[in-house]
Chain A
Amino acid sequence: AQSVTQPDIHITVSEGASLELRCNYSYGATPYLFWYVQSPGQGLQLLLKYFSGDTLVQGIKGFEAEFKRSQSSFNLRKPSVHWSDAAEYFCVVMDSNYQLIWGAGTKLIIKP
């Protein structure tokens, strides 16, 4: 069965430091991959998506993610975090029926 694993429930990063959020998926074919962000008490915003082509994708707010087929990973990165990046981040896979399979989320905490 398809699944998405975000191994870190919480991550704490100092403001200005770099960030990497991990995501591994289990899916037979080439997946469509997404990262969504949910700020406290807010809805869900699409950060970036990968369908095909260049495996390094750029998103909004300075985020990027890299698709690595050999590792079944789609990790999210940002070179320097801001306090406003504190939120919960979800890695998502779209299956062959266009249904979204969600990871459990990683809560990002920013230290001043």
Chain B
Amino acid sequence: DAGITQSPRHKVTETGTPVTLRCHQTENHRYMYWYRQDPGHGLRLIHYSYGVKDTDKGEVSDGYSVSRSKTEDFLLTLESATSSQTSVYFCASTGTKQETQYFGPGTRLLVL
């Protein structure tokens, strides 16, 4: 499996505070993704990156921003967290062929 880590693994925060989640991969993968997982849904794409400083929006991008200053790191920021952003967040990465995405362990976020 690809070496993908996420930090923090668990976070509790209050409505209106900024939150940053970090994804780190050691596979030199070009593409990285942020998803959220909610009950009754499969994963939904928030943002993705196709290279350093190259990012694009996914299906559910409102309220989220991302940054990628290095190949190995992809940050997801909630500028002002809301209760609707309580979810489990997964990061994934894949190489140039984009054939298979490998997932991190997830971050469980609770916004009170």
Chain A interface residues toward B at CB < 8 A = 4, 32, 34, 36, 42-46, 49, 51, 90, 92, 98-100, 102-105
Contacts and interface: CB of A to CB of B under 8 A. Distances in A.
A46 B42 contact: no
A92 B42 contact: yes
B105 A43 contact: yes
A106 B73 CA distance: 32
Nearest to B102: A46
Given A42-B105, A43-B105, A104-B40, A49 B100 contact: yes
Given A92-B42, A104-B42, A46 B106 contact: no
A43 B101 contact: no
Contacts of B43: 44, 90, 100, 102
B103 to A, nearest CB: 4
17 contacts: A32-B99, A42-B105, A43-B90, A43-B106, A44-B43, A44-B103, A90-B42, A90-B43, A92-B42, A99-B45, A99-B48, A100-B45, A102-B42, A102-B43, A102-B44, A104-B41, A105-B42
Interface residues of B, number: 20
A92 to B, nearest CB: 7
Contacts of B31: 98
A43 B99 contact: no
8 closest pairs, A vs B, by CB?
Answer: A102-B42, A98-B98, A44-B103, A43-B105, A102-B43, A43-B103, A103-B42, A104-B42
A4 B104 contact: no
A102 B79 CA distance: 27
A44 B100 contact: no
Contacts of B58: 99
A1 B105 CA distance: 30
Contacts of A92: 42
Contacts of A43: 90, 103-106
A71 to B, nearest CB: 21
A45 B1 CA distance: 9
Contacts of A45: 1, 103
